Amino acid sequence: MSFRSPYPDVDIPEQSLYDYLFGGIAEADLGRTALIDGPTGAETSYGELIEQIDAVAGALAARGLAVGDVVGLLSPNSPAFAAVFHGILRAGGTATTINALYTGPEIAKQLADADARFLITVSPLLDHAKEAAAQAGLDDEHLIVLDGPGRAAGGHPSLADLLTQHAPAPEVSFDAATHLAALPYSSGTTGRAKGVMLTHRNLVANVAQTAELTNTTRDDTVLAVLPFFHIYGMTVLLNSALRSRAKLVTMPRFDLVQFLTLIQQHRCTFVYIAPPVAVALAKHPIVDQYDLSSVHTILSGAAPLDEQLGKAVAARIGCKVRQGYGMSEMSPVSHVIPHDGDAMALDSVGVTVPNMECKLVDPDTGDEVAVPAAGVSEPGELWCKGPNVMVGYLNNAEATEATLDADGFLHTGDIATVSADGVVTIVDRLKELIKYKGYQVPPAELEAVLLTHPQIADAAVIGVIDPAAGEEVPKAYVVRQPQSALTEQDVIDFVAAKVAPHKKVRQVAFIEAIPKSSAGKILRKDLRAAN
């Protein structure tokens, strides 16, 4: 028995994301502030943002970007990110957004897999970007450094070069229902990171689906600390907040003092976070030194929020705390506690968004779990269908088929319950994915790194809860080669040198053999049970 949103379906216009967000902008809104660069205070109005988007689109097209070409975007949050992201889409390109903490080889892998034609970055990341561009076969003309000195000064093309080129935005036409807008990477339920194919329609739909439930209004000032490269920041900040004509204050990375200072200084009203920020807000003594009275809502997502923690934040800041749930493969929001959801438990993820159909399926039997007439259902894997669900993984029919079934349901790999009134609670994770501070850590990737060590015979990685921090961390089970004197710290250091900081192995255990099925699959359940 499937269940749907308690809210009526909404209209999803057949438009490009640019047309949907900016096409109908009121003349009076062009002068409103769209973005404030947190560190410098520099402001960009909606009118200026649109001009920049058009100029970036024109300059990229003049440099040879064709409809359907992929562009890598590797940058921390800034107003320029917004102009470039939407400029790529405006030119008919597809943005593959890359984690700014990635190592050179990690960036190169994504660029090569996505077949990116350009890489756009910032000068602090230039070393990694150059290494990656060289590995992916991109020459200097195709590496753009937003804040760089520019072509005239002998550097790479810069944002100033693009903006002063004054090339008109190209006339492009594509089908919003099928044309790819964004290609974020996610490991999904198993294996390594894969390109998640999201169309213009997917991204337009998710803004429309969430608009009435939780989104910001034109009176909001939104702190944009969640990274724009991740689907959560991309949809709720770059798309939803801009569509509602709110004001975004960008932060390049999380820093508690800067976070609190910017809220106080700009009187931020709406703050999207992941659970580790909630821990700081509930517990850190410094929070009391700031005036956070402007905040009316804090929305947490990307990993489970503890109910007591959420309540502590609400009491301390004096605001509403809400939780949402999503997945890159759903553009991402499928569930959220709405504005008026005060009665919903904070450890629930609220109700299904409009235009989506969901069901719970027993992973052992394949039977659908009944939605109860009263009380709460049995747990089951959450399956979701709707206009925000990806079209598939790039060049990976096998992974697509394993995740998206013939009826169009996406198998999330999360275990949930649903109450009689449609409130969903995520209770467990079936898939192998680990979340560290809301970031994805694909175990398969770390296992491949571990196996390159000459003293490691076999390895498996799972997520465990670190009792001190109360959060999930990656733990490696390692089988040493005979006579190896490898220590736990050696293993941690070896992986740390090869991956982005959030993917570090944080615990190690040496064992005799990795438990495996007769088909050779790692029995992660057995490892989890041993913890």
Q: In the complex, which residues of this chain contact ligand 4UW (CB under 6 A)?
A: 186, 231-232, 236, 299, 301-304, 323-328, 332-333, 336, 349, 412-414, 426, 429, 435, 440
Q: How many CB atoms lie within 10 A of CB 68?
A: 13
* CB of 482 vs ligand 4UW, minimal distance in Å: 38
* CB of 411 vs ligand 4UW, minimal distance in Å: 10
Q: Are 38 and 72 in contact (CB under 8 A)?
A: no
Q: Which of 80, 236 has the CB closer to ligand 4UW?
A: 236
Q: Which of 48, 306 has the CB closer to ligand 4UW?
A: 306
Strands 471-480 and 507-510: parallel
Q: Which of 303, 486 has the CB closer to ligand 4UW?
A: 303
Q: Which of 332, 380 has the CB closer to ligand 4UW?
A: 332
Residue 47 CA to residue 27 CA, distance in Å, equals 9
Residue 312 CA to residue 306 CA, distance in Å, equals 10
Bridge partners, 414 (sequence order):
429
Q: Which of 133, 416 has the CB closer to ligand 4UW?
A: 416
Q: Which of 148, 324 has the CB closer to ligand 4UW?
A: 324
Q: Which of 142, 475 has the CB closer to ligand 4UW?
A: 475
* CB of 273 vs ligand 4UW, minimal distance in Å: 8
Q: Which are the contacts of 95, defined by CB distance < 8 A and separation ≥ 6?
A: 70, 71, 73, 85, 88, 89, 181, 182, 183
Token look-up 């974020």 returns 184
* CB of 1 vs ligand 4UW, minimal distance in Å: 22
3-state helix, strand and coil shares in percent for the chain, rounded to the nearest 5: 30, 25, 40
Q: Which two tokens stand for residue 80?
A: 């320029």
Q: Which of 431, 453 has the CB closer to ligand 4UW?
A: 431
Residue 174 CA to residue 178 CA, distance in Å, equals 8
Q: Are 165 and 60 in contact (CB under 8 A)?
A: no
- DSSP assignment of 394-427, as one string? TT-HHHHHHHB-TTS-EEEEEEEEEBTT--EEEE
Q: Which of 52, 355 has the CB closer to ligand 4UW?
A: 355
* CB of 314 vs ligand 4UW, minimal distance in Å: 15
Q: Which of 287, 303 has the CB closer to ligand 4UW?
A: 303
Q: Which two tokens stand for residue 56?
A: 């970036």
Residue 269 CA to residue 279 CA, distance in Å, equals 19
Q: Which of 158, 412 has the CB closer to ligand 4UW?
A: 412
Residue 466 CA to residue 368 CA, distance in Å, equals 34
Token look-up 């709460």 returns 376
The residue whose Cβ lies closest to ligand 4UW is 301
* CB of 245 vs ligand 4UW, minimal distance in Å: 19
Bridge partners, 516 (sequence order):
522
Residue 276 CA to residue 436 CA, distance in Å, equals 9
Q: In 211-354, where do the E strands start and end?
A: 221-224, 247-250, 270-273, 297-300, 320-326, 333-336, 351-352
Q: Which are the contacts of 339, defined by CB distance < 8 A and separation ≥ 6?
A: 213, 214, 297, 320, 322
* CB of 296 vs ligand 4UW, minimal distance in Å: 16
The closest of 201, 447, 198 to 326, measured between CA atoms, is 198
* CB of 318 vs ligand 4UW, minimal distance in Å: 20
Residue 372 CA to residue 420 CA, distance in Å, equals 5
* CB of 396 vs ligand 4UW, minimal distance in Å: 16
* CB of 215 vs ligand 4UW, minimal distance in Å: 10
* CB of 233 vs ligand 4UW, minimal distance in Å: 9
* CB of 228 vs ligand 4UW, minimal distance in Å: 13
Q: Which of 301, 380 has the CB closer to ligand 4UW?
A: 301
Q: How many CB atoms lie within 10 A of CB 161?
A: 19
* CB of 166 vs ligand 4UW, minimal distance in Å: 37
Q: Residue 57: enclosing H or E segment and its boundaries?
A: helix 46-62
Q: Which of 435, 475 has the CB closer to ligand 4UW?
A: 435
C-alpha distances in angstroms, 35 versus 52, 178, 263?
13, 30, 14
